[in-house]
């Protein structure tokens, strides 16, 4: 019997200083995803317009399902203020994890 490998999923927030924009995504490996965003790997994506993305925040989630729900919640807020507050107050991320887990 082969044991299952359980991989954490992350919600990540990256920021481009040259464009003054945040981007919210989900990944198993946010550091690798950051490299992909900065290299233009995702042609035509909103992140392809900049190459100075920096990782601002990660939230470790127990499953991809939870990560996708939190990502959708953050994106639905459509608010830079909400994202800035999320970055400034880590307890907001903890509340999201509790809400969607």
Q: Within 10 A of 77 (CB to CB), how many other CB atoms are there?
A: 14
Domain ranges of the chain: 9-100
d(CA 49, CA 14): 13
Q: What is the pLDDT of residue 99?
A: 97
Q: What is the pLDDT of residue 42?
A: 87
CATH of domain 9-100: 3.40.1440
Instruction: Say if residue 101's pLDDT is above 70.
Output: yes
Residue of 56, 61, 93, 91 lying closest to 74 (CA atoms): 93
Q: Within 10 A of 99 (CB to CB), how many other CB atoms are there?
A: 11
Which DSSP symbol is given to 18? T
Rg value, the chain, Cα: 14
Query: pLDDT digits over 37-96, tens only?
Result: 999 998 889 999 999 999 999 999 999 999 999 999 999 999 999 999 999 999 999 999
Residues in the chain: 101
């Amino acid at each position: 019997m082969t044991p299952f490998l359980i991989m954490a999923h992350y919600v990540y927030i990256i920021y481009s200083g040259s464009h003054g924009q945040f981007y919210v995504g989900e990944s198993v490996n946010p550091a690798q995803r950051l490299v992909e965003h900065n290299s233009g790997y995702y042609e035509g994506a909103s992140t392809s317009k900049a190459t100075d993305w920096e990782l601002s925040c990660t939230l470790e989630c127990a499953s991809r399902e939870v990560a996708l729900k939190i990502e959708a919640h953050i994106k639905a807020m459509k608010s830079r203020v909400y994202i800035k507050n999320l970055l400034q107050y880590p307890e907001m991320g903890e509340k999201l994890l509790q809400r969607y887990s």
